[in-house]
Chain A
Amino acid sequence: MGIKVSASRKIFLVCNIIFLLMVALLCIAPFINLLAVSFSDKVAVAAGEVTFFPVGFTTISYQFITNTSKFFMSLLVSVKRTALGVPINLLLIILTAYPLSKTKEDFRARSLFSWFFVVTILFNAGLIPTYMVVKSTGLMNSIWALVLPGALPVFSMLVVMNYMRSLPKELLEAAYIDGASHVQTLIRVVLPVSIPTLATVTLFSFVDHWNSWFDGMIYMNKIQNYPLQTYLQTVVVNPEEFIRNNTDLSGNLSKYLSMVSARTTGAAQMFLAMIPILCIYPYLQKYFTTGLVMGSVKE
């Protein structure tokens, strides 16, 4: 490029890359280790021999899991809650963001409703009142207890609302002059141009539903209703229990008992639970970033 790079600058750049490389490794190494442990022999794991590559490669931990019903039961609950929760989140976000994106002249009650939703960010009722409300609505032990209380993610709604507000006025005016109703304007004009934002909030809500564990723990009394992360939490907190419970239950598992440990089966289950996130990771990176930046853009 013709620009002279000084020696000290070169040294800095090299050190910088090495430092960043170490930082990046620090972020990713625990997951590589997890994967290696899940495919390793339990003796090697217990001896601390496993770092980044499996030692005594075996899929026995995964075989053990496929033979336990709890993992798959909770996986099913998680799939169900995500399949119900994400579309409901998205629908309510759209239905709320559109009216609130109108100007005060077009929708006089806009401020009132905006505040109605924003207040819920400002003040948190706390654990017990929320728990009691869910209990008195009779949703305990139902999948709806994991979906309805958070049916409208207010922060996401605000992101979409701000985006819709930033759309050029001419677009909406043209639709109005053509005689389009609000529903038509929303479906034909506003939604198609809002796709990037909607993708962002959809991913937000997917990650949220997939990663939630606390609601499952307090609203579900039976372990067969636990979503995956809630079930995993019991495995994380009490790993030995998991092995014991499962081997007690069905005889065909006892043959695995000598071959797996809490460490290897725990690692296998955690890795399996990470897979959906890893699958959508490229999109997450792309859209979360834009969403975050959008959320911070002022009008």
Chain B
Amino acid sequence: MFASLKRKDKLLRELPLYVMLLPAVVLVAIFSYGSMAGVIIAFQKFIPAKGLFGPQQWVGFHNFSTLFSMPNIGLVIRNTVFIALCKMIAGIVVPVVFALLLNEVRHILTKRIFQTLVYLPHFLSWVILSGILINLLSPNEGFVNIILGKFGIEPVFFLGDPHVFPATMVLTDIWKTFGFGSVIYLAALTGIDPALYEAAVIDGANRWQQTRHITLPGISSMVVLMTVLGLANILNGGFDQIYNMYSPVVYSTGDILDTFVFRLGIEQAQYALSTAAGLFKSAVSLIFIVVSYYLADKLTGYRVF
């Protein structure tokens, strides 16, 4: 557009663009890049009083060796990956199935009403949802256990039994996210050319065959994309949710990296160790994020920018 302009004029023309970027660049430089530089804490014998970038004593990888010799770190990583993977898989399957079933409803208003109802939990914070769930799932006066009791089932300690806790987290996470997660698949479903179905009917395809050969291929690229992008969350167990619902009784199966980092850092003020654990998480996540973006681009042509 401005190919004819001279160098100086070009710079002059670009100047306002730099000015526009300035505020965001300054803030991001301080808070994001400043924090990134702050990961040096992980390699120091960090004393907060000396300041973030103050004259701290360097200890190399000592904090990491301390971290990985802690008795429960292996368990914490395993819990994190297990919970994250379960959420990831259920987070694809449930919304896809829901979108397929909802797509069979031809009455527009009915469809809208269903959508309106199932999206709601998505927009509320885990603080509120946890508050509600803690009451609903309580062993003695919780609504869920009262219902189970009517079927003669012993009260389940959803939040207090280490064997049940991870399942509770996965199920309640699905409860919050599946409705809104289906939006993207519903959009893909409406994008399928109706002519394909008409042709299939003429060829004598039944409903199931239509679903199998038209509908599923029609949303498969979206499923691939969401699966691949989901990989980036391999170490995200869901801090907001778990922190608000867990307790020491379920640490053995419910303690995840983020809650571990939080307790170590904020509650016990072990800044260096906590930073090391956080850095471990970020480094592994970085690899997964880059790989997932790369795959998303290669497989479906998706680009973030």
Contacts and interface: CB of A to CB of B under 8 A. Distances in A.
B28 A152 contact: yes
Contacts of A207: 123
Interface in A121-155: 121-137, 148-152
Nearest to B280: A126
A114 B21 CA distance: 11
B278 interface: yes
A128 B275 contact: yes
Interface stretch (B35-43, B65-73, B85-93, B156-164): B35-43
B23 A95 contact: yes
Given A28-B117, A125-B35, A233 B127 contact: yes
B118 A24 contact: yes
Nearest to A45: B141
Contact of A98 (B20, B146, B175, B180): B20
B153 interface: no
B301 interface: yes
A4 B181 CA distance: 34
B132 interface: yes
Contact of A107 (B17, B35, B121, B134): B17
B34 interface: yes
Given A122-B286, A127-B266, A298-B303, A183 B52 contact: no
Interface string A100-121: 1011011111000110111011
Name the residue among A20, A173, A281, A292 with the largest chain B CB count within 10 angstroms.
A20
A270 interface: yes
A229 interface: yes
A238 B299 CA distance: 48
B24 A48 contact: no
Given A99-B20, A284-B123, A126 B303 contact: no
Interface string B113-143: 1111111110111011011111110000101
Given A105-B3, A125-B38, A284-B123, A99 B21 contact: yes
Name the residue among B14, B20, B27, B275 with the largest chain A CB count within 10 angstroms.
B20
B282 A124 contact: yes
Nearest to B133: A30
Name the residue among A27, A113, A281, A293 with the largest chain B CB count within 10 angstroms.
A27
Contacts of B130: 236
A118 B266 CA distance: 28
A207 B33 CA distance: 25
A232 interface: yes
Interface in B2-61: 2-3, 13-14, 16-18, 20-21, 23-25, 27-28, 30-39, 41, 48, 51-52
A256 interface: no
Given A277-B123, A296-B184, A132 B27 contact: no
Contacts, number: 257
Contact of B278 (A109, A126, A136, A288): A126
B95 to A, nearest CB: 12
Nearest to B285: A124
Nearest to B269: A128
Given A17-B110, A125-B38, A211-B124, A292 B27 contact: no
Interface residues of A, number: 105
Contact of B117 (A27, A152, A214): A27
B118 A27 contact: yes
A106 B16 CA distance: 12
Contacts of A214: 239-240
30 contacts: A12-B104, A20-B114, A27-B121, A31-B132, A33-B136, A96-B24, A102-B17, A105-B1, A105-B2, A106-B1, A123-B36, A125-B39, A126-B274, A126-B279, A127-B266, A129-B38, A129-B41, A129-B275, A131-B265, A132-B271, A152-B24, A158-B305, A181-B16, A183-B16, A211-B127, A214-B239, A236-B131, A270-B128, A281-B120, A298-B301
- Kindly list the 8 A-B residue pairs having the minimum CB-CB distance in the complex, ordered from nearest: A126-B278, A129-B38, A125-B35, A211-B125, A99-B17, A236-B131, A24-B117, A120-B32
Interface of B: 1-3, 13-14, 16-18, 20-21, 23-25, 27-28, 30-39, 41, 48, 51-52, 98, 101-102, 104-105, 110, 113-121, 123-125, 127-128, 130-136, 141, 143, 146, 175, 179-180, 183-184, 187, 207, 222, 225, 239-240, 244, 258, 261-262, 265-266, 271, 274-275, 278-279, 281-282, 285-286, 289-290, 300-305
